[in-house]
Amino acid sequence: MRSPPLRWSSGVLRRVGLTGRTVVIGVPWLWLLLFFVIPFLIVLKISFADTRLGVPPYTPLLDWVDGKYLQFRLNTGNFMFLLQDSLYAQAFLSSIKVAFFSTVFCLLIGYPMSYAIARANASWRNTLLMLIILPFWTSFLLRVYAWIGLLRNNGVINNILMSLGIIHEPIVMMQTDFAMYIGIVYSYLPFMILPLYANLEKHDQSLIEAAVDLGCKPFRAFMLITLPLSKPGVIAGSMLVFIPAVGEFVIPRLLGGTDSLMIGRVLWDEFFLNRDWPVASAVAIALLLALVVPIMIFQRYQLKATQSGAAVAGGRG
Amino acid sequence: MNARADERREPWKDPRAEAYIRVENVTKQFGDFVAVNDVSLSVYRREIFCLLGGSGCGKTTLLRMLAGFERPTSGRIFIDGQNMDGVPPYDRPVNMMFQSYALFPHMTVEQNVAFGLKQEGLRRAEITDRVADMLGIVKLKGFEQRKPHQLSGGQRQRVALARSLIKRPKLLLLDEPLGALDKKLREHTQFELVNIQERLGVTFVVVTHDQEEAMTLASRIGVMNHGRIVQVGTPLDIYEFPNTRFVSEFIGNVNMFEGRIVEDEPGYVVIQSPELGTPIYVGHGVSAAPEAVVWAAVRPEKILLTREPPANTKYNCAQGTIKEIAYMGDLSIYLIPLDSGKTVRVTQPNAFRHAEARLTWDDRVWVSWHESSAVVVTE
């Protein structure tokens, strides 16, 4: 039995539509509204404005003209500019290219790793997973800087190779695409491994045994059974790597060459060097759209997979 | 099922018959744990051989060694005269039906069944024909395009059976084939399994923990305990002539009377058992050390219940009071504490609908049995 004041107040709350259920659901919605929808609308608004000198450095959309007309000006010029200047299209394409190849590398490295962890002795599994997660305990920036220490001309790798006499002058690795790929793949690998592991770990080993029993050699059994059943994990991992990698700014900036054209970097330059907030906002909006489409494809796929029940691998009962 | 008069075959009694599977002194150790301990076994063509035992007795390990998933620590396995040592599962003339069925969840029924044939690289048309035939045999026509999760438990079991039979193996290994089915479906499926086995002429080795399943399916049963085979025999042998206390207690219900042999003749023995009161007369000779502790095992259905004392009150009888009655329809189970303190379990068929003289609670009764009914077992 609830005490009278509590009953009274919960009655009042219910009358205004606040029950425990709506509060629990409401908190994340409120969070999304405050920190995603409203900022997005602000950026959207700025992307349709003009630049001007002053604070803020863009024109308002609504304006009083002659003290009596309410003028609504929508400047689509920023988006036209993105289409006209090939710099932006190139930056988009090269970002997508970098993100794509990073995803492929992450997949090639991450799949065997997750497979090995999932097949490892149960007592080892948690330790191995811990080793994957452990780098997250250090700052992301510190880890990228650590790579600079490894890769630069008088860095650890070059010093070791030279002292062993394998090379006589340092290999230039910093400020190259090579270093950038290493940085991205290194940073995003756990995001590939974890969903893949979660999928592979659920696989029923007797499926492989059944395939082998029916005349499959082990590798073929892997290709015919394990690989198709791990598709949801592959897609989840690839999305988790690809989407943030497209907008990646810090790693290309710190490890990549000055000529590396990434959309995140273009965004940064528009914002802080050119102080052209409207064009920067337009870039951000375009980037968001480019990323939302793959997410929607992914969700559609997941929905389809759960509907057909194929998302869960392995035998039941 | 196993005793069809027209095709009763008992190759194990024929010294010239050649065993299809020969297991010779096979031991399997996992670390310190001995899963299978020095097992030797012969299985003949077209047999349904059941490995029966509780969980952890090594029956599944033995089956997996036949399939090639585990390698014996020592000993040899021959299938069709060929030494199987080092032969991988995909090269063995053996298929297995898994306990969980292990159907491929991303493939349709048709693709699941066709899987084995595709690995052989057969022509498409032949694969389609054979799959259609097999789906007809297991009565799954019309389910070709379903995925495993769209099937009931019984249908999944039949897909698994079809998939493991499609390559026409000479030997099929079945791991608890009926374990996941409910009681009604089990009985039905048991008969279907036997029918298919007879039709295709396959040798079955079945692993089960369910003695009823083993009794109805098997031509012979191998009872396992702690990694060893304790007794091999027909269901009738195992039930009526158990060789150890473990076997007689594992298969069916049994009343055990502990005692010592006081008279040991070639034609009979007499056991003095304080648990019964009167001495137990067993109408066959036994080979046991004199004065050794033995048990006289009497099945509940072989005990007679009467209000009047039996003709001969010198042997094999005692008086008691009915304490519990369980009415099962076709028969009733009585639990009767004897005057010695020992409780006996007796089953009696309910042959008459109106039995004025039907026994009831707290009735004083005599229990007795024929001299051929008891079996003497040792530890």
Angle in degrees, CA B236, B239, B240, rounded to 5 = 80
- Judge if the upstream peptide bond of residue B279 is cis by omega within 30 degrees of 0: no
Angle in degrees, CA B41, B42, B45, rounded to 5 = 150
- Residue B281 to residue B310: CA distance in whole angstroms: 15
Sheet with B82-83, strands from edge to edge, namely B33-43, B21-30, B74-79, B82-83
Q: How confident is the model at residue B40 (pLDDT cuts 50, 70, 90)?
A: very high
Q: In this complex, is the C-beta atom of B185 within 8 Å of any C-beta atom belonging to chain A?
A: no
- Model pTM? 0.81
Q: Which residue of A has its CA nearest to B180?
A: A317
Q: What is the pLDDT of residue B342?
A: 92
- Long-range contacts of A27-35, Cβ-Cβ distance < 8 Å, separation of 24 or more: none
Q: Outline which parts of chain B fall under CATH 2.40.50.140.
A: 253-377
For tokens 């029966």, what's the residue?
B52
Over residues B317-363, the pLDDT tens digits come to 999 999 999 988 889 999 999 999 999 999 998 887 776 667 888 98
Judge whether residue B1 has pLDDT over 70: no
Q: Which residue of A has its CA nearest to B68?
A: A213
Judge whether residue A131 has pLDDT over 50: yes
Pair of tokens at residue B374: 């008891």
Phi/psi at A168 (5° precision): -110, -20
- Residue A18 to residue A195: CA distance in whole angstroms: 36
Which residues of chain A lie closer than 8 angstroms to B90, CB-CB?
212-217
Q: Outline which parts of chain A fall under CATH 1.10.3720.10.
A: 85-308
Nearest-Å Rg of the Cα atoms of chain B is 25
Q: Which residue of A has its CA nearest to B167?
A: A214
Judge whether residue A316 has pLDDT over 70: no
DSSP per residue over A61-72, as a string?
Answer: SEEEETTTEEEE
- Residue B172 to residue B163: CA distance in whole angstroms: 11
Does the domain made of B253-377 have the CATH classification 2.30.40.10?
no
Q: In this structure, how many other beta carbons lie within 10 angstroms of the beta carbon of residue A91?
A: 23
- Helices (H) and strands (E) in chain A — how many of each? 16, 2
**B222 Cβ partners below 8 Å, 6+ apart?**
B41, B49, B50, B51, B52, B229, B231, B232
* Range in A285-289, B8-12, B239-243, B297-301 with the lowest mean pLDDT: B8-12
pLDDT mean over A15-35:
85
Angle in degrees, CA A126, A133, A228, rounded to 5 = 75
- Residue A230 to residue B96: CA distance in whole angstroms: 25
Q: In this complex, is the C-beta atom of B102 within 8 Å of any C-beta atom belonging to chain A?
A: yes
Measure in Å the smallest separation between the Cα of A293 and chain B Cα atoms: 27
3-class SS of residue B375: strand
By Cβ distance, the residue of B89, B149, B150 closest to A213 is: B89
3-class SS of residue A278: helix
- Residue B165 to residue B117: CA distance in whole angstroms: 10
- Residue A316 to residue B103: CA distance in whole angstroms: 9
Which residues of chain B lie closer than 8 angstroms to A212, CB-CB?
88-90
Q: What is the pLDDT of residue A70?
A: 86
Judge whether residue A313 has pLDDT over 50: no
- Helices (H) and strands (E) in chain B — how many of each? 8, 21
For tokens 């497979």, what's the residue?
A115
Q: How confident is the model at residue A1 (pLDDT cuts 50, 70, 90)?
A: low
- Residue B266 to residue B284: CA distance in whole angstroms: 7
Q: Which of A203, A207, A213, A231 to mutate to test the interface with B (most CBs of B within 10 A)?
A: A213
Which residues of chain A lie closer than 8 angstroms to B149, CB-CB?
309-310, 316
pLDDT mean over A33-40:
92
Q: In this structure, how many other beta carbons lie within 10 angstroms of the beta carbon of residue B354?
A: 5
Secondary element (H or E) of residue B345: strand B343-349
Buried b (16+ CB within 10 A) or exposed e, B292-301: eebbbbbbbe
By Cβ distance, the residue of B69, B101, B153 closest to A209 is: B69
Q: How confident is the model at residue A237 (pLDDT cuts 50, 70, 90)?
A: very high
Q: Does A215 contact B119 at a Cβ distance shorter than 8 Å?
A: yes
Judge whether residue B6 has pLDDT over 50: no
Q: What is the pLDDT of residue A2?
A: 59
Q: In this structure, how many other beta carbons lie within 10 angstroms of the beta carbon of residue B36?
A: 28
Q: Domain A85-308 belongs to what topology?
A: MetI-like fold (1.10.3720)
Q: Which of these, B310, B311, B280, B313, lies nearest to B297 by C-alpha position?
A: B280
Q: How confident is the model at residue A112 (pLDDT cuts 50, 70, 90)?
A: very high
Q: Which of these, B227, B220, B225, lies nearest to B39 by C-alpha position?
A: B227
Q: Does B147 contact A310 at a Cβ distance shorter than 8 Å?
A: yes
Q: In this structure, how many other beta carbons lie within 10 angstroms of the beta carbon of residue A202?
A: 14
pLDDT mean over A134-139:
90
Q: Which of these, A187, A227, A172, lies nearest to A99 by C-alpha position?
A: A187
Measure in Å the smallest separation between the Cα of B102 and chain A Cα atoms: 5
Can you list the positions of beta strands (E) in chain A? 62-65, 69-72
Angle in degrees, CA B311, B313, B315, rounded to 5 = 115
Judge whether residue B3 has pLDDT over 50: no
Interface of B with A in 114-153 (CB under 8 A): 115-116, 119-120, 147, 149-150, 153
For residue A154, the number of C-alpha atoms closer than 13 Å in the C-beta half-sphere is: 0
Which residues of chain B lie closer than 8 angstroms to A309, CB-CB?
147, 149-150
Please, is A278 exposed, middle or buried when counting C-beta atoms within 10 Å of its C-beta (0-12, 13-18, 19+)?
buried
Distance of CA A308 to the CA centre of its chain: 27
Interface size A-B, in CB pairs within 8 Å, comes to 76
pLDDT mean over A128-148:
91
Q: Outline which parts of chain B fall under CATH 3.40.50.300.
A: 5-240
**B363 Cβ partners below 8 Å, 6+ apart?**
B307, B321, B322
Measure in Å the smallest separation between the Cα of B235 and chain A Cα atoms: 29
* Range in A58-67, A78-87, A276-285, B108-117 with the lowest mean pLDDT: A58-67
DSSP per residue over A23-45, as a string?
Answer: HHHHHHHHHHIIIIIHHHHHHHH
Q: Check residues B23 and B187 and name the one with the higher pLDDT.
A: B23
Secondary element (H or E) of residue B27: strand B21-30
Q: How confident is the model at residue B140 (pLDDT cuts 50, 70, 90)?
A: very high
- Residue B198 to residue A34: CA distance in whole angstroms: 72
Angle subtended by helix axes A277-308 and A77-84, to nearest 10: 80
Q: Does B105 contact A216 at a Cβ distance shorter than 8 Å?
A: no
Q: How confident is the model at residue B26 (pLDDT cuts 50, 70, 90)?
A: very high
Q: Does A309 contact B147 at a Cβ distance shorter than 8 Å?
A: yes
Judge whether residue B191 has pLDDT over 50: yes
Q: Does A312 contact B103 at a Cβ distance shorter than 8 Å?
A: no
Please, is A69 exposed, middle or buried when counting C-beta atoms within 10 Å of its C-beta (0-12, 13-18, 19+)?
exposed
Q: Does A213 contact B100 at a Cβ distance shorter than 8 Å?
A: no
By Cβ distance, the residue of A308, A309, A315 closest to B100 is: A315
Q: Which residue of B has its CA nearest to A231?
A: B106
Mean pLDDT of chain B: 90
The residue type found at B21 is I
Q: Which residue of B has its CA nearest to A207?
A: B102
Distance of CA B265 to the CA centre of its chain: 33
Q: Domain B5-240 belongs to what topology?
A: Rossmann fold (3.40.50)
Q: Which residue of A has its CA nearest to B95?
A: A213
Q: Which residue of B has its CA nearest to A310?
A: B106
pLDDT mean over B71-88:
94
Measure in Å the smallest separation between the Cα of B104 and chain A Cα atoms: 7
Judge whether residue B8 has pLDDT over 90: no
For tokens 């390559």, what's the residue?
B167
- Residue A249 to residue A261: CA distance in whole angstroms: 10
pLDDT mean over A119-145:
92
Q: Does A315 contact B147 at a Cβ distance shorter than 8 Å?
A: no
Q: In this structure, how many other beta carbons lie within 10 angstroms of the beta carbon of residue B95?
A: 25
